[in-house]
Copies of this chain bind each other. A is one copy, B any other.
Amino acid sequence: MNPNELSKFPTVVVIGGGFGGIQVAKQLANKPVEVILLDKHNYHTFQPLLYQVATGGLEAESIGFSLRKNFEGQKNLRFRIAEVSKIDTESNIVHTDIGPIPYDYLVIATGSTTNFFGNKDIEKYAMPMKSIPEALNLRYMVLQNLEEAILKPSKEERAPYLSFVLVGAGPTGVELAGALAELRNHVLNKDYPELAKEEMKVYLVDFLPKVLGPFSDEGSKAAQGFLTKMGVEVLLNVKVESYNGEEIKFEGGKSIRTKNVIWSAGVAGVVPDGVGKEAIERGNRIKVDNVCRMVGSSNIFAIGDVAAMITDDTPKGHPGVAQVAIQMGQLTGKNINRIIRGEQPEPFKYFDKGSLATIGRNKAIADLGKIRFQGFFAWLIWMFVHLISLMGGRNRVIVFINWVASYMNNNGGSRLIIRKFKPEELASKTEQVSKPD
């Protein structure tokens, strides 16, 4: 690529190679623009399967896909690993750790991060799971605490190492709970004959009265039933008060001694510095109009988890799911083309394809509009949808083999502690989220 040759075309800078950012870049292939895609990692993360990386069922590389590989052959695109420090909306420049990058159009597709709602202690001691490095930390922590448990002589001393408290009963919490219950029910006795299965406890906690909040009541009830049957203790209408690394306390007096608190109770948008306060909505999201344009700007777009498109139909904005990001990304890529051609951008219309969540190794919940079903068939649908959504043929084959192996022998996963997780690293985990690690 000769940069001089391209300089006559407008530059579109896309921040973030998640579900949304990738679609924007794809729509701009072979168009008269220069695309610069920035991400702090050199890979796309297939977030819906992060929980399987955390529980050892899949390798990190099966749900990560090289952004360079993905855009091989797209001649008008350059990819850079970069950390954005600030956006200068006056001069149209993105400031990064690899230098300033001028843009004609900017797409903010930075996604969301874990929201601890300002509770610094919980932030310090609880584990988030929004990125591959965080999922790996979680995997190593679980394994290390099982190893630690067998060194303790009494049941009481073992208890905090063997108690897993998942806060937030959305899809992430539910899927993690299922996977940890499988680990307890099928692997623990084989790998750790010193430990009794009953000593390992999995708790799923939410302040709402139901699991899988946004799902139908039918799906939500079925999920709770599956979890309970697998031995997960579901605690609803329960608010977390504090966690000090040793004991989690709930409003009303109940508490659990545990070294393992996993927090998936909320997210907040990752908004780059330089976005005006007037454009920030609840949940630290960027307020956008109906074509995903940041309010008050003519050439900056925000899509996916970081965007809040408040309309009469969506008073809280759209749900933070992959489909919203993908559809916003496709539209925004097309709209930038339209704007460059002098046409009007088209408004966003979300097509809700439905929701899926899996529980354990062979059950799932499917809420596909008015069609709702639960159990084994839903799990087949879940498998199929996730396999075709993965990037890369090799990833699909390898994930499929892993799932078949784990379905058949109930002992999937490699369970290696490749890099020891050090709890003191948690103190700086917010930093980890924003920096490549």
Chain A interface residues toward B at CB < 8 A: 1, 41-43, 59-61, 64-66, 68-69, 72-73, 75, 78, 80-81, 98, 132-133, 136, 143, 147, 150-151, 190-194, 393-394, 397-398, 401-402, 405, 411-412, 414-420, 435-437
Contacts and interface: CB of A to CB of B under 8 A. Distances in A.
Given A417-B436, A437-B419, A401 B394 contact: yes
Shortest Cβ-Cβ A-B pairs, 10 listed = A61-B414, A68-B191, A43-B416, A72-B190, A64-B416, A394-B405, A59-B59, A66-B415, A420-B436, A59-B61
18 contacts: A1-B193, A1-B194, A42-B415, A59-B60, A59-B61, A60-B418, A64-B418, A66-B415, A68-B415, A69-B190, A78-B194, A80-B147, A133-B418, A136-B418, A398-B401, A419-B419, A419-B437, A420-B435
Given A80-B151, A133-B419, A419-B419, 16 more contacts: A42-B147, A42-B417, A60-B418, A61-B414, A64-B416, A65-B414, A68-B192, A72-B190, A73-B190, A80-B147, A133-B418, A136-B418, A397-B401, A417-B436, A420-B436, A420-B437
B194 A414 contact: no
Contacts of A191: 66, 68-69, 72
A151 B78 CA distance: 12
A420 B398 CA distance: 25
Number of copies: 2
B98 A151 contact: yes
A81 B147 contact: yes
Contacts of A394: 401-402, 405, 412
Contact of A41 (B1, B68, B72, B417): B417
A200 to B, nearest CB: 15
A78 to B, nearest CB: 7
Contact of A69 (B398, B415, B417): B415
B192 A64 contact: no
A60 B416 contact: yes
Given A42-B143, A81-B147, A66 B414 contact: yes
A42 B416 contact: yes
Given A143-B42, A194-B78, A394-B402, A418 B68 contact: no
Contacts of A42: 143, 147, 415-417
A405 B66 CA distance: 16
Contact of A414 (B64, B72, B151): B64
A41 B437 CA distance: 22
Nearest to A64: B416
B41 A416 contact: yes
A414 to B, nearest CB: 4
Contacts of A436: 417, 420
A275 to B, nearest CB: 26
Contacts of A393: 405
A43 B419 CA distance: 12
A316 B418 CA distance: 34
A415 B147 CA distance: 31
